[in-house]
Amino acid sequence: MQIESINPPTDELVPTPVQELTEKVLVGKGTRHLVKIDNFLVEFAGARQAKFVSKDADRFEAMASAAQALPANSETAYARIILLAADGAICRRITLPRLIANGVVVQRCE
């Protein structure tokens, strides 16, 4: 007996739906952007010139919580990710340990 796959393997890339959420829509004020890709909520903090500090973490967590509370997102658990530029600075004494303890992934990118 041979079992055939309903979805045969392919080398073709399927586009992933991306939804951009603004801080102004989520929280009521601000200029930051949060991107929802599959089960990820991502903020690209690489465009910042200043160090990513506790105040920035507060804003990110408020946006992520508001995005999670949206009716369309309430049943899905989202991984929260902050992308820093390769040379982006983050407070390693307070902010980074706090984000890690809260389950936020902090990643550098080029």
DSSP string, 25-77: HHHSS---EEEEETTEEEEE-TT-SS-B-HHHHHHHHHHHHHHHHSTTTTTS-
Q: What is the pTM of this model?
A: 0.81
pLDDT of the residue at 9: 60
* Tokens coding 11: 């080398």
Per-residue pLDDT of the chain (110 residues; tens, 9 = 90+): 444 545 556 666 666 778 899 999 999 998 899 999 888 999 998 777 789 999 999 999 999 999 998 888 878 889 999 999 888 899 999 999 999 999 999 998 87
Q: Are 90 and 106 in contact, with CB atoms under 8 Å apart? A: yes
pLDDT of the residue at 3: 46
